Structure 1
Amino acid sequence: MHHSRNSTSCPQRCRAVLSRVNFYSTRNDMRSNPRTISRSMKMTTHQEIKPKPSAQSVQPPYKILRLKQVLECTGLSRSTVYDLLDKNSPRHDPSFPRSIHLTQSSIGWLESEMQTWIESRITKSRR
């Protein structure tokens, strides 16, 4: 079954997978030990499932925006975005977030950096 990229968000997909894992592990517990049935019947709801970060691998949740999303959230055109990145352009903005190379032919921007840049533009325009 193929899901389009925009049909569900990553947290929703993760919660769905975790609930399936919880269901199957509960079913296996019930088969192996009948005494665990009462404990196993207390299924965890989607709201209760929270990923437990291990002490070794605590990473900030990064979200990468593709060009189309950057254009939507900034209201800029494609050529303006590339002009802001181009050091030889008269419209170059050194504070504009640098792109991240995802593959040889695709780039993206960190959502947190883009939000910070937008906030700085708001602050600068309201002085």
Structure 2
Amino acid sequence: MRLIRLKEVKHVTGLGRSTIYKYIEDGVFPKSVSLGERAVAWVESEVMAWVMTRIEARDRHYSLAVVSQLKAA
């Protein structure tokens, strides 16, 4: 298991700091792990699973849109 810091989470997701923390608050992003009094990190596999879920949702939406267009034609 690998822990990644905020800088890498931002790089991997393309999200900003405030958006990441808002998503955590909303329960739609993996929670951070406390490393000490002023340090946190995220489990890399959890962040990557979140990214993959977003990609799969995009692909499902795209597939449904294509099927709808074909039915309308």
TM-score by length of 2: 0.77
Counterpart of 2:47 in structure 1 is 114
Higher relative contact order (CA 8 A, sep 6+): 2
Q: Match of 2:47, as an amino acid?
A: M
Larger radius of gyration: 1
RMSD over aligned Cα atoms: 0.9
Alignment partner of 1:83 out of 22, 34, 51: 22
Name segments (4+ residues, structure 1) moved above 2 Å. Answer: none
**5+ long unaligned stretches in structure 2:** 61-73
Residue 57 of structure 2 aligns to a residue whose secondary structure is helix
**5+ long unaligned stretches in structure 1:** 1-61, 87-91
Identity of counterpart residues, as a percentage? Answer: 38
2:3 equivalent to 1:64 = yes
Deviations 1:31-79 (A, max 9, x none): xxxxxxxxxxxxxxxxxxxxxxxxxxxxxxx110100000000000111
CA separation in 2, counterparts of 1:118 and 1:85?
14
Between Structure 1 and Structure 2, which shows a larger proportion of helix residues?
A: 2
| Corresponding pairs, count | 60
